[in-house]
Amino acid sequence: MRRLVSSLPGAFHPLRQPILPVQKAWQQFGAYVNLISSHRFFSFGLFIFSLTFIDRIEAVVTAKLLQQFKESILWSHAMRHCFIHLLLWVGLLNAPWATAVPRIVNGEMAQAGAQPWMAALLEKGSVPLRAAHFCGGTLIQPRIVLTSAHCVIDYRPAEIEVLLDSDSLRPPYRGERIAVSALVTHPQYDHWTLNNDIALILLARPSTQTPLAIDAGTATLLTSLDPGKRAVALGWGETYPSDQTIPPVPEDLDCIVTTIGQNTPLAGQFDCLIYPNRGSSELLRVELPLVDPATCRTVYKDWLADTMLCAGYAEGGKDTCTGDSGGPLLVDIGERMVQIGITSWGTGCAQPESYGIYTAVWPYRDWISRRAGQLTFQAACPRAPELSVSQEAIAASGQTRVILSWNAVDNAEAYTLFYVQPPHFDAIHHLDMGMARQFSADLDPGQAYLVALQARNARCASPFSNVEWVEP
C-alpha cells in the first residue's frame, strides 16, 4: 500500500502494507492498530484517559470491527480496554509506526476542475471525508474505476463509495458520489510482493464525468517512456516525508463525528473525537522523473517486477506517500494526459534512493478490457426477481386461486413465467408476462405445478428466481 506500512521499521521490509493475517485474532489485532493509529485519537485535559473516554473510543472501534468481521469480538472487554489505552499513549508519543495510509510529499495544488476523472475511495458512512478517504483511483469507463488491488482487497462493495470531480475533501463537499456494485482484483495479485497490484471497481451507476485515457501500449507512448521523462502523480495522501516528525497539533483539525446514534447507551454523551490529520484536504500533484529499471533494481533488487514502473528522485524530497495508493501516474503525450501507472508501494516517503513504485498499466490492458467489459455487461443484466405465492379459496367452485407476485427488477424490460406440471418434468412451459408484477390462476383440487420467474431485457436474462411448489 503506498503506503499502508510505509513507516514501519526496516525489519518489516519495504512493503507499504500490513503482513497478511492468518488468524482471526491477529486480524483483529491489526484492525485495532489500524483504526486507533490511523485516527490518532486524542483529547485535551485530565479526562483524556478517563474510563468514559476510553469506553467511547472502544465503542467506536468495536462497532467498526463488528461491521468488518460480522462476528463477536474475540477479545474480552478488559483486553480491548488495555490495548486501546496503550495505543493512545503510543499515539501521543508519536511512535513512528502510528501513521495512516500515502500522500503527495512536496507537491503542489492540482488545477481545480482539470481532473474530473480523479477518484477518492471513501469508507462508506465515515465522516469527515478526510477520515473516510483511504485510497485513490481513476475513472477509465463510465462505470469502471481503476485502482490498486491492495486498496480494496479487504473491503466489500457495500463498504465503499467513490467520489469523482472533487478537488477538495473539505466542506462544503462537492462532486459526484457513487456507490460500488462490484470489486475485482487481479487473480494473480500477491499480497506479499504486491505483484499484479491492480483492481477494478464497478460503480452502481454510470458517472457523468469524462473518463481518463489509459496506456494502450501504442508506439508513440512507449517511445516517450525513456528514463528521465517527467510523469505526474496525484493524490490526497501523506504530505510529510517519513523521516520528518509531524507537529503534535496541526494547524487544521478535523472532527470525526462518531456513528454512535440515538438508540445506543452512549447516545448524546459526546459529539466527536479530534485527531490530527497529516494528509492534504486538497488534491495535490507532483512531477516525478521515470527511473531506469536497472537503477531501481539497485535499490529494490528482486522486489521490482517487470510489470512495475519506478519514479522519483535519487535525492528524495518529492514522492507519493500513504493514501495516494491507487491513484494515477500520468505522462503528457502532446494532446492529452495518459495514465501509465498506478501508485503502489515504496520504502518510506520521499527518502533518498527510495523511489516510488507504480503498477504499469500497459501489461494489463487485455485484462482490463476483458474484465471491464464483463462487469459492464453483467451490470446491464437484470437481477433475479423474488417470487412469492399466496392462495385463496373460491367457495362457489371449490377451486383455489393461486396468486403469483414478484418485485420490480432494475434493467428488466419483461418477465417470463416458467412452469412444469408433474410428473412431466421435461415439458417446461412459459408465459410472457410483459412488465406485469402479478399473475393468478384458478386451480382444481389435485393440480400442482413448479413455477419460477426470469427477468430479461434486449441484452440478457437474469438467473431464475426461487422455485415454488404450487398446489391447492
What's the rounded Cα separation, in Å, for the pair 450 and 418? 8
Q: What is the largest CA-CA distance in the chain?
A: 93
Listing DSSP states for 433-456 in one string gives EET-SEEEEEE-TT--EEEEEEEE
Active-site hit among 7, 38, 39, 150? 150
Backbone angles phi, psi at 109, to 5 degrees: -65, 135
Distance of alpha carbon 272 from alpha carbon 219, whole angstroms: 54
Q: Would residue 40 be called left, alpha or beta, if left means φ above 0 and alpha means ψ between -120 and 50 degrees?
A: left
Contact criterion met (CB below 8 Å) for 207 and 143: yes
Closest CA to 57 of 31, 79, 30, 39: 39
Known catalytic residue at 150: yes
* Neighbour-count burial of 341, counting CB atoms closer than 10 A to its CB (0-12 exposed, 13-18 middle, 19+ buried): buried
Question: Hey, which residues does 319 pair with through a beta bridge?
Answer: 105
CA-CA distance, 192 to 308, in Å (whole number)? 15
The single residue of 167, 197, 254, 319 carrying the catalytic annotation is: 197
Strand segments, DSSP code E, in 165-276 are: 176-185, 199-203, 230-235, 253-257, 272-276
From the list 207, 281, 325, 462, the catalytic residue is 325
Q: Residue 363 phi/psi, 5° resolution?
A: -65, -15
**Residue 197 catalytic?**
yes
Those residues with Cβ within 8 angstroms of residue 342's Cβ, 6 or more apart along the chain or in another chain: 146, 147, 148, 197, 198, 326, 327, 328, 329, 358, 359, 361
Cβ atoms of 400 and 392 within 8 Å: the answer is yes
| 424 carries an active-site annotation | no
Q: How far apart are CA 14 and CA 34, in angstroms?
A: 18
Residues in the chain, total? 472
Residue numbers annotated as active site = 150, 197, 325
